[in-house]
A and B are shown apart, each in its own frame.
Chain A
Amino acid sequence: MKRLQVLMSVESTAPVEKEEQLGKKIVLSKPKSQRQKTLVQKILVNGFLALICIIWTLPTLGVLVTSFRDRDEVVTSGWWTSFSDPGAFTLRNYEQVLAGQDYSYTRADGTVVSSRGDNMLNSFLNSITVTVPAVIIPILIAAFAAYGFAWLDFPGRKILFATIVGLLVVPLQIALIPILRDYMAIGLNGSYLGIWLAHTGFGLALATYLLFNYISTIPRSIMESAFLDGASHFTTFTRLILPLSVPALASFAIFQFIWVWNDLLVALVFLSGAGEQVEVITQRLLNIVGTRGQDWHLLTAGAFVSMALPLVVFFALQRFFVRGLMAGSVKG
């Protein structure tokens, strides 16, 4: 009621069009000058936002378009000129970058140079080998721990959890040298297990914290019935709590997937020296950047090969990813 009175008293220029019943929405028509102003505002807002979207998308679009262009054209003309001749687009760059096919081109002085492409397929598979367990293992360990902290009573429970909270933002740089020394001592360097464990160690604090926040809110009554049936904690956890926590698990899984797939530092430290055999895709791409920085046709195709999977995952599961990001805003 109060608001209605306020509305009536303030907007003297605005005639009340309709007032059917009290409590229903009141429609006010605005005077002409204001209407124009809002139209201008609308155009400004939408126009400016569209401009930002274009600026944000152009860089990626340029790389995408270039990856389908012929090598000779890439180095002699800007990608924005290629739309005049859509027939010239080719998949050759991808063949070269994935399967290491040879390619040849003519230099300015007329000599024909032949050069090898790159074998990214191997590193793509390596990235999958590194990423899948590096996502699942920390989630498994963190879910167990979250259940333990939420529903079991043991000495040191609070101080241990406080430790996890403290470790949330500890930068992983602090661990690189000591862990590298350990790995060299026990032969884990350059092995899949080594890098899985490293990613587990660096992602575990956040995973445990997030999953604890979720699992501790599951009503106790749900579990009581399981205990009455004589189920152990292990059974209750695996049969009841894990399925119930799927949304939280998925959120963190996507977050961790993109994190691990895109990681370069951990891979460089713990997989270097083991040769091309265990190189992940970010390392491979970095090598192409380093050794053939001017081969734009390969670089752009390579960049897209490395981005394809996270982008697909991202667009397919954006909702979960956003939830994971929001919940775990502060990652160390």
Chain B
Amino acid sequence: MTDFNMSDKSDSPVQRILSWVARLVVSFAVPLLVFVVLYFGFLFLRDSNAPQIVITISAIIWGVGGAAALYWVTNWVIQRTNGIWRKRLTPFMFVGPAIAILGWYLMLPTLRSFYLSFFDRVSENFVGLDNYIYVFTDPTMQTAFVNNLLWLVVGTGGSVLLGLIIALLADRSGFEKVAKAFIFAPMAISFVGAGVIWKFIYAYQPPGYEQIGLLNAIVTSFGGDPQNWIVMRPWNNIFLIFILIWLQTGFAMVVLSAAIKTVPNELLEAGRIDGAGEIRIITSIIVPSIKGSIVTVSTTILLITLKIFDIVYSMTNGLYGTEVLASQQYKQMFKFLHYGRGSAIAIIILLAVTPVIWYNLKQFGKREVF
């Protein structure tokens, strides 16, 4: 693969230097050429007025092909080096890009956000703990904290509990596969799409008009008055949280269902022989056996809930007392352009997930095979 043995021993030193220089030039020229091509591709995509379909196709080819080309060129350059350097550089090619991107997009931002959270709106003047004081004392923020707690408890608890119940029912029913597909399907729907779907369920018309929202139609058919669910404080939060439950229950069900199937039959039979009823078997045998999965699922849904933003943003835009941390973070950053407060809220969200980070690292430390 290397060119180092290509030059004959009979070459004069001048020739050898020349060929070495030529190789060096080529080694730089090829990557440079690739970069230039990619850069012009970038400019074309940014400034082009071509029809969207042309842009779509060329962007995909440029993006995916470009990423592959960069690896190929790096490899090509490394193959031009000799033994020891090749050994040193190869790991860089494999691991380097991932570490660089993770460093730029997650590691450094953690420190930078921390730093910015002590500065003012435009990150110029040091303001000490002002942003944090604001975050904990501002009434809207306090509402956001309380609401977020409600989301975490009701949203996660509801999803996991319902997921467990459905998994147990499906396990004993005659149409397990179909039922699971139905419950799981909302997973594929975006939070915004789900927002539209449920806005329609909660749709409100004044009394006397025909109700087109399903929930109000049911309420009025029983003789009740139609309610404007989305502006009903504090219950509107529960109506929003139900959207999350609708979306996440399927995930909890799938994971817990797989866990239930691994509970040994002997255990269940032994329980039945001892005369335990179905409920007793579930609470005393099945649930303890799948505790690990329940914790994992709960943690995952907690993490999703903590960063919930789209539902609140598309349903109420945080009005009527429905603000949560992530929607406040977005507003501070984008609407009020206050980078200090936005960063402070981001740091608080990060602190909330720290126990999970610590636990993951502890588990990783226990891994012997690495």
- Residues on A facing B (Cβ under 8 Å): 3, 6-7, 10-11, 41-42, 45-46, 48-50, 52-53, 56-60, 62-63, 66, 74-80, 121-122, 125-126, 128-129, 132-133, 136-137, 140-142, 144-145, 147-149, 152-154, 157-158, 160-182, 191-193, 196-198, 200-202, 204-205, 208, 216, 232-234, 237, 258, 261-265, 268-269, 272, 282, 285-286, 289, 293, 296, 299-300, 302-303, 306-307, 310-311, 313-315, 318, 321-322, 325-326, 329-332
Contacts and interface: CB of A to CB of B under 8 A. Distances in A.
B309 A145 contact: no
Given A80-B214, A125-B53, 16 more contacts: A42-B172, A52-B166, A52-B183, A133-B64, A141-B97, A170-B350, A170-B353, A175-B110, A177-B113, A177-B343, A177-B346, A201-B105, A262-B188, A299-B199, A307-B190, A315-B181
Given A62-B214, A133-B63, A166-B360, A264 B173 contact: no
B152 to A, nearest CB: 14
Contacts of B219: none
B64 A136 contact: yes
Given A49-B179, A126-B52, A329-B297, A133 B59 contact: yes
A313 B187 CA distance: 12
Nearest to B174: A46
Contact of A46 (B113, B173, B300): B173
A101 B92 CA distance: 54
Interface string B54-71: 011001100110011001
B201 A62 contact: yes
A142 B99 CA distance: 10
B187 to A, nearest CB: 7
A163 B365 CA distance: 12
B7 interface: no
Contacts of B185: 56-57, 60, 311, 314-315
Given A125-B56, A129-B59, A233-B94, A289 B192 contact: yes
B360 A49 contact: no
Contact of A162 (B45, B296, B361): B361
Contact of A173 (B64, B172, B299, B349): B349
Interface stretch (B21-29, B131-139, B251-259, B283-291): B251-259
Interface string B248-267: 01010011001000000010
Count chain B CB atoms within 10 A of each CB in A129, A171, A262 and give the residue with the most. Answer: A171
Contact of B113 (A63, A78, A178): A178
A113 to B, nearest CB: 19
Contact of A152 (B94, B116, B179): B94
Contact of B346 (A152, A161, A171, A264): A171
Contacts of B178: 53
B370 A144 contact: no
Contacts of B1: 232
A107 B94 CA distance: 64
Contact of A286 (B42, B189, B192, B343): B192
A162 to B, nearest CB: 6
A45 B168 CA distance: 9
B97 A234 contact: no
Contacts of A233: 90, 94
A62 B133 CA distance: 46
Contact of A166 (B53, B251, B330, B361): B361
Nearest to B105: A201
B210 A48 contact: no
A50 B169 CA distance: 10
B33 interface: no
A182 to B, nearest CB: 8
A235 to B, nearest CB: 9
Contact of A144 (B45, B71, B108, B314): B71
B99 A160 contact: yes
B158 interface: no
B183 A332 contact: no
A176 B117 CA distance: 13
B217 interface: yes
13 contacts: A7-B273, A53-B178, A60-B185, A63-B200, A79-B212, A133-B64, A136-B63, A171-B350, A179-B109, A192-B45, A233-B94, A269-B333, A300-B200
Contact of A45 (B169, B183, B273, B369): B169
Nearest to B103: A163
Given A122-B52, A306-B190, A136 B197 contact: no
Interface string B187-206: 11111110111111101000
A302 B109 CA distance: 36
